[in-house]
């Protein structure tokens, strides 16, 4: 008889933030799986980091061709995904400036997805989540409820959200209209009703999608947001700095906020 699941969790610095991995598992190896998941995160970070001159992305930005390795294929895959979002959003999500590719938050979401896929393969009954600084993805948990911290550091607020997708990501505006974690600058002016501390929440099946689309929600036009939500089957919410829900995008909204 299989014993009852036990909670295993660990938090470590990773991806420029704090990363938490939590598992509910009856397997004795669950703690080892978490250790291996963090090791995998470190390996992936060496591929996608914009600021590490030794990363594969930095080498690619210098004009060095991608190697025909698993790492090279992963970087090529993520660049392709980012370009797809850029095209569908008509540039409200951007890969970077001055011909330098900066994958920023979409890489963080992609790493979260890779780690979740690794953990799912270890045991078919284990459930849990991976959270990397607001890029959050669950697996084998039905419609979990999460409490999200939104707004600016000066005016934070919290919202409870019941997820109807596996992943959720958040992002908030700043007056410079840039991604706070990267140098990426976005194109569209603020839509009516948004202010300098508005926040976006996006739910999607993958964390990389949810992360990328938060930028579209904050900086795109209504048509661009609707197009992205339709293509990626995502749900999106935009709040102003007072915590008021301004806009909702997506066809099958079932969440409870």
- φ, ψ of residue 23 to 5 degrees: the values are -125, 145
* Structural domain includes residue 1: no
- φ, ψ of residue 37 to 5 degrees: the values are -65, -40
Number of domains in the chain: 1
Which ranges of the chain does DSSP label H, i.e. alpha helix?
30-48, 56-61, 70-88, 104-122, 207-219, 222-232
* Structural domain includes residue 256: no
The neighbouring-strand residues paired with 130 are 21, 137
* Structural domain includes residue 257: no
Q: What is the CB-side half-sphere exposure of residue 158 using CA atoms within 13 A? A: 5
**pLDDT of res. 176:** 47
User: How far is 178 from 141, CA to CA, in rounded Å?
Assistant: 34
The pTM score is 0.89
**pLDDT of res. 38:** 98
* Structural domain includes residue 131: yes
Q: With contact defined as beta carbons under 8 Å apart, do 77 and 117 qualify?
A: no
* Structural domain includes residue 20: yes
**b/e per residue 27-58 (b: at least 16 CB within 10 A):** beebeebbeebbebbeebbebbbbeeeebbbb
Which residues form the domain of 56?
A: 6-249
Residues of the chain with pLDDT under 70: 1-2, 174-193, 195-196, 252-257
DSSP 142: S
User: How far is 102 from 106, CA to CA, in rounded Å?
Assistant: 9
* Structural domain includes residue 254: no
CATH of the domain at 145: 3.10.520.10
User: How far is 203 from 228, CA to CA, in rounded Å?
Assistant: 12
User: How far is 56 from 10, CA to CA, in rounded Å?
Assistant: 28
**pLDDT of res. 192:** 59
């Amino acid at each position: 008889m299989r014993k009852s699941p036990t909670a295993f969790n660990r938090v470590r610095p990773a991806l420029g933030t704090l990363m938490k991995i939590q598992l509910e598992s009856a397997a004795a190896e669950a703690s080892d799986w978490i250790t291996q998941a963090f090791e995998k995160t470190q390996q992936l970070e060496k591929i996608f980091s914009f600021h590490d001159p030794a990363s594969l992305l930095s080498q690619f930005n210098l004009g060095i061709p991608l190697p025909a390795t698993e790492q090279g294929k992963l970087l090529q895959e993520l660049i392709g995904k980012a370009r797809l979002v850029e095209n569908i959003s008509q540039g409200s999500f951007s890969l970077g400036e001055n011909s330098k590719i900066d994958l920023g938050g979409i890489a963080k979401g992609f790493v979260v997805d890779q780690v979740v896929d690794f953990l799912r393969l270890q045991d078919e009954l284990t459930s849990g989540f991976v959270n990397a600084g607001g890029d959050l993805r669950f697996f084998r948990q039905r419609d979990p409820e999460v409490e999200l911290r939104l707004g600016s550091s000066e005016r934070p607020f919290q919202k409870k959200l019941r997820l109807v997708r596996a992943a959720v990501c958040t992002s908030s505006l700043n007056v410079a209209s840039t991604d706070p974690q990267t140098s990426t600058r976005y194109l569209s002016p603020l839509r009516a009703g948004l202010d300098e501390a508005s926040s976006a929440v996006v739910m999607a099946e993958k964390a990389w999608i949810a992360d990328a689309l938060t930028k579209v929600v904050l900086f795109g036009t209504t048509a661009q947001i609707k197009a992205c939500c339709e293509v990626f089957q995502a749900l999106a919410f935009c709040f102003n700095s007072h915590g008021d829900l301004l806009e909702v995008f997506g066809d099958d909204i079932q969440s409870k906020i």
